Amino acid sequence: MLIDTYGRVATDLRVSLTDKCNLRCTYCMPEEGLQWLSKSELLSDDEIVRLIRIAVTQLGITEVRFTGGEPLLRPGLVGIVERCAQLEPRPRMSLTTNGIGLKRTAAALKAAGLDRVNVSLDTLRPDAFKTLTRRDRHKDVLEGLEAARDAGLTPVKVNTVLMPGLNDDEAPDLLAWAVENDYELRFIEQMPLDAQHGWKRDGMITAGDILQSLRTRFELTEEGSGERGSAPAERWVVDGGPHRVGVIASVTRPFCSACDRTRLTADGQVRTCLFATEETDLRAALRANGEDSEDGSDEAIARIWKLAMWGKKAGSGLDDPAFLQPDRPMSAIGG
């Protein structure tokens, strides 16, 4: 199992499939994009499946989340999902996406074995969407959400980041829309993971701000702590149920003590935390030694992974005055 010195056990694996994205969200990357990883730096489909197999069969992983960049840009995505669905024990599998490609892929992903999706959508206004993402693709995201729901990739969760002066007035409208369409809305505090390193704590929309705004229109009843477990989102029942809304307060209400995640970047690096400044290279072990050699065996790779997670820090360090933002942005390390 993947246990650390604080007794936390990682059972949830986040796998970044690519660093590329077809949006340019202001809180993630600059308008001109970034220097993408080369094909040789990226893990191959076979390497991804092998690492997931090791994680599931030897390290106790029960949940796999495919992320990016934008994972729908990965040509072999459906095949990767299909192969992972055949593992024993079978992990639950989900996908975090901007939704642009879901209209054409949702049914195939469901057939391959994907269980559900998280779709990022920050606004109901097409003009605000274009300002936030620097792309005119709002309609495509809405159609992707509908396709995911119709394909049975449920519950469909919608991830929303509120930005001052852009969409910070939309929280109640977004929740009303989510309830009407049977989506589960989750607000996420903006985190210091932008490529520009322009994040500032002052002025960010906090969980408290979001809840105050929502309560102007809805009655919110907090779920019991037993319902949350290790999930990052605190959840509230909306107007007596059955719908719920979540808030992921990574900055103002960190949940590090219950974290059960390990992360694999698109170029084969283990990250113990989104905000980690160090990584452990699994790609080198995959490629430098044959699978049948002692150093390149599944067991050897599992040992490297275990050692990396053993050194996981107690928390993200966001409240430390000496906190340093990771060099690699969200698009490179996966959400």
Q: Which residues are annotated as a binding site?
A: 14, 21, 25, 27-28, 65, 69, 96, 120, 157, 191, 256, 259, 261-263, 273
Distance of alpha carbon 52 from alpha carbon 84, whole angstroms? 7
Distance of alpha carbon 285 from alpha carbon 288, whole angstroms? 6
Tokens 């719920």 label which residue? 244
CA distances from 272 to 131, 183, 310, 322 (A): 33, 30, 9, 19
Structure tokens at 260: 């059960």
- CA gyration radius, the chain: 19
Annotated binding site for S-adenosyl-L-methionine: 27, 69, 120, 191
Annotated binding site for GTP: 14, 65, 96, 157, 261-263
Residues whose CB falls within 8 Å of the CB of residue 279, separated by 6 or more in sequence, listed in order: 265, 269, 270, 271
- Residue 328 half-sphere exposure toward CB, CA atoms < 13 A: 23
- Say if residues 196 and 279 touch (Cβ distance below 8 Å): no
- Say if residues 223 and 246 touch (Cβ distance below 8 Å): no
Burial zone of 318 (CB within 10 Å; 0-12 exposed, 13-18 middle, 19+ buried): middle
Distance of alpha carbon 247 from alpha carbon 176, whole angstroms? 16
Annotated binding site for [4Fe-4S] cluster: 21, 25, 28, 256, 259, 273
Give the amino acid at 19: D
Distance of alpha carbon 105 from alpha carbon 100, whole angstroms? 10
